[in-house]
Chain A
């Protein structure tokens, strides 16, 4: 049974962090095409301008803000400004993320390791902290945290990334429980392995010096060539489904591009108190 996906995105105001490139850029184009007003935040003004120009050329509505997601005061200012000028945010997509250092944890530069946690976890929590109060007052809103299989399973030698994504999955789960009474939905979404953003950056490591980096690059290339890779189109389609309202019962869950959302919905109704960390995969 295909769930009816009404277009809740027309005229919706959607904020996407890390919207200047990679997956953020992909989603920005798609959401704008669906009729949403997309608000993109990123560190690079040049990249933001580039994305905004091409969205406008396609007739989409877009606004951009240069901000570092690790600056809580800056995050608050952006959210205030957006809501004052454009109206209340309907959707927050916490997509900004860095891959972090590659190597054994104890051999990585400490600052590089910790800043991965600050960006990937701290940035998402800071934006949620700033955006949710208003969503809760309006009893309307959806939050999508972009996560990765590296947070569900593991990724030795890319530990800061793996740990940050595990933390973000657990954050999504707790947050969903906390804001359920306010009718908000929160999803931890794994967009799949895409020939974009962090994955393509990692592939470019091939000429690099350390064996750990070379291994990671080779692994990424193998993934992209394998049947495990996802297509950008299906990745964006799944995001649209999550934002449609038809799958709000999956709030708090880890959802991947490969999932049949209708099957997951059936499992939710069966496995009420399953302690599988809300992931609905009995052996996963």
Chain B
């Protein structure tokens, strides 16, 4: 519709600002994938990671595609630094609408009692502690605005198990349960929390695992071989599918799934129906909505 004398430049110069999305571990792998996708969808993505060089690289790529991005170097296990970064983001960038807790490490490979203790515990500190610390910093602000979504990146290794990669498996199981508890605690503040398994991707940790080849340690060799098999199998999820499912979770259409474990393979509309039909006693399957798991 053209009306004489009315210009369209006003509309064009004031686009919808898009949500502010904070992604931890945003310098590589799945975090990088999600950052690019959310920026392409119009979000202001705020990336935190330990490596300045990797952050710079991702930010340059997003900016050259016309996306909006800010980066902060922080170690998620440093609770005080996390609080400070969140304060800075809220002051300088704006209110955080979504938090993607993605930072994580693979941890040591081997029978638990043969792993280096510090490596084992460090995995819990990063994969669980980092997430809880970021949630602890961000949620009070989200709760006061009664607006916000949190996605905790989990894994089937936490829903099922992964012997010889136990620190990783245990950290992800803890994170799935944390998501479930947190979702109930902040439902009165209208916040939503999802435990999301992006699938095995030809990215990040899967590649890291697949790179374990020449080794004299049979346990390490088995994990390497398993990751390579997964990369060649049809179990592998596509980057596109993993990012699209995340965008759906952040859309608001699936908020009724708050607290649940969601995978890249799930039909979210089907899960919504199960939530509506389910009673607590039907599904005490850890909110995973799969009666046979």
Tell me, yes or no, whether B163 is within 8 Å of chain A by CB: yes
Which of A129, A136, A164, A283 contacts B291 (CB under 8 A)?
Answer: A283
- CB of A247 within 8 A of chain B? no
Annotate B139-165 by CB proximity to A: 1 below 8 A, 0 otherwise.
110010000000000000011111110
Which A residue sits closest to B181, measured CB to CB? A159
- Chain B residue with minimal CB distance to A103? B185
Complex Cα distance, B162 from A242, in Å, reads 24
Chain B residues with CB below 8 A from A207, complex form: none
Closest CB of chain B to A240's CB: distance in Å? 26
Q: Does A185 count as interface, using CB distance less than 8 angstroms?
A: no
Interface status of A162 (Cβ within 8 A of chain B): yes
Report, as a range, how many residues of chain A touch the other chain.
35 or more
Contact B120 A166 (CB under 8 A): no
Instruction: Tell me which of A72, A113, A152 contacts B132 (CB under 8 A).
Output: A113
> What residues of chain A lie closer than 8 Å to B287, measured between beta carbons?
154
Asked if B97 lies at the interface with its beta carbon under 8 angstroms from chain A, I say no
Q: Mark A121-137 against chain B: 1 for CB-CB distance below 8 A, else 0.
A: 11001101100110010
A152 — which chain B residues lie within 8 A by C-beta? Answer: 284, 286
Look across to chain A and name the residue whose beta carbon is closest to the beta carbon of B82. A110
Evaluate whether A170 and B173 lie within 8 angstroms (CB atoms) in the complex, with A122-B121, A129-B113, A132-B113 already known. Answer: yes
Q: Is B207 an interface residue (CB 8 A)?
A: no
Q: Is the CB of A117 within 8 A of B124?
A: yes
Task: List A residues 168-212 near B (Cβ within 8 Å).
Answer: 169-171, 173-175, 177-179
Q: Indicate if the CB atoms of B140 and A106 lie closer than 8 Å.
A: yes
Q: How far is the CB of A69 from chain B (nearest CB, A)?
A: 13
Whether the pair A166, B111 counts as a contact (CB closer than 8 A) is no
A275-B160, A282-B291 given; A128·B135 CB < 8 A = no
In the complex the two chains form, is B117's CB within 8 Å of A159's CB?
no
Mark out the residues of chain B between 86 and 117 whose CB falls within 8 Å of any chain A CB in the assembled complex.
111-115, 117
Looking at B170, B186, B284, B292, which has the most chain A CB atoms within 10 Å of its CB?
Answer: B170
Task: Assign chain B's interface to a size class.
Answer: 35 or more
Is A106 a contact of B139 with CB atoms below 8 Å?
yes
Interface members, chain A 236-251 (any B CB < 8 Å):
none
Residue of B nearest to A252 (CB): B161
A114 touches B129 (CB 8 A): yes
A162 near B181 with CB under 8 A, answer: yes
Residue of A nearest to B120 (CB): A125
Are B112 and A178 neighbours in the complex by a CB distance under 8 Å? yes
Contacts of B143 in A (CB 8 A): 106
Complex CA gap A281/B292 in Å reads: 9
A275 touches B293 (CB 8 A): yes
- Which residues of chain A come closer than 8 Å to B174, judged between CB atoms? 117, 121, 163-164, 166-167, 170
Determine if B285 is an interface residue (Cβ-Cβ < 8 Å).
yes
Whole-angstrom distance between the Cβ of A9 and the nearest chain B Cβ:
23
Contacting residue for B166 out of A105, A136, A153, A174, CB 8 A: A174
**Which residues of chain A are near B117, meaning CB under 8 Å?**
72, 126, 129
Closest A residue by C-beta to B163? A177
What is the distance, in angstroms, from B283's C-beta to the closest C-beta of chain A? Answer: 7
B169 beta carbon closer than 8 Å to chain A: yes
A-chain residues with CB within 8 Å of residue B132 when the two chains form the complex: 105, 113-114
Query: Which of B111, B160, B185, B286 interacts with A157 by CB under 8 Å?
Result: B185
Shortest CB-to-CB span from A267 to chain B, Å, is 13
A179 touches B111 (CB 8 A): yes
Q: A153-B284, A155-B181, A156-B181 are in contact. Are A174 and B135 (CB under 8 A)?
A: no
Contact across chains for A174 and B169 when beta carbons are under 8 A apart: yes
A173 to B166, CA, bound (A): 9
- Are A154 and B181 CB-contacts (below 8 A) given A128-B112, A163-B128? yes
Is there a chain A Cβ closer than 8 Å to B274's Cβ?
no
The residue of chain B having its C-beta at the shortest distance from the C-beta of A149 within the complex is B284
Within 8 Å of chain B (Cβ to Cβ): is A284?
Answer: yes
Known: A164-B174, A166-B173. A178 touches B111 (CB 8 A): yes
When the two chains form the complex, which single residue of A105, A125, A276 contacts B112, counting CB atoms closer than 8 Å? A125
- Tell me if A277 and B129 are in contact (CB < 8 A): no
Q: Shortest Cβ distance from A274 into chain B, in angstroms?
A: 8
Instruction: Jot down 27 A-B pairs with beta carbons below 8 A, ordered by A.
Output: A104-B185, A105-B178, A105-B182, A105-B185, A106-B140, A113-B132, A117-B124, A121-B170, A125-B121, A128-B112, A129-B117, A154-B180, A154-B184, A156-B181, A156-B184, A157-B185, A163-B174, A163-B181, A167-B124, A167-B173, A174-B162, A174-B166, A178-B113, A178-B164, A277-B159, A282-B291, A283-B285
A residues near B, CB below 8 A?
A: 72, 104-107, 110, 113-114, 117, 121-122, 125-126, 128-129, 132-133, 136, 151-157, 159, 162-164, 166-167, 169-171, 173-175, 177-179, 274-278, 281-284
With A105-B178, A163-B174, A173-B161 given, can you name 12 additional A-B contacts, CB distance below 8 Å? A113-B136, A117-B124, A121-B174, A167-B173, A170-B173, A175-B112, A178-B163, A178-B166, A276-B292, A277-B286, A281-B284, A282-B292
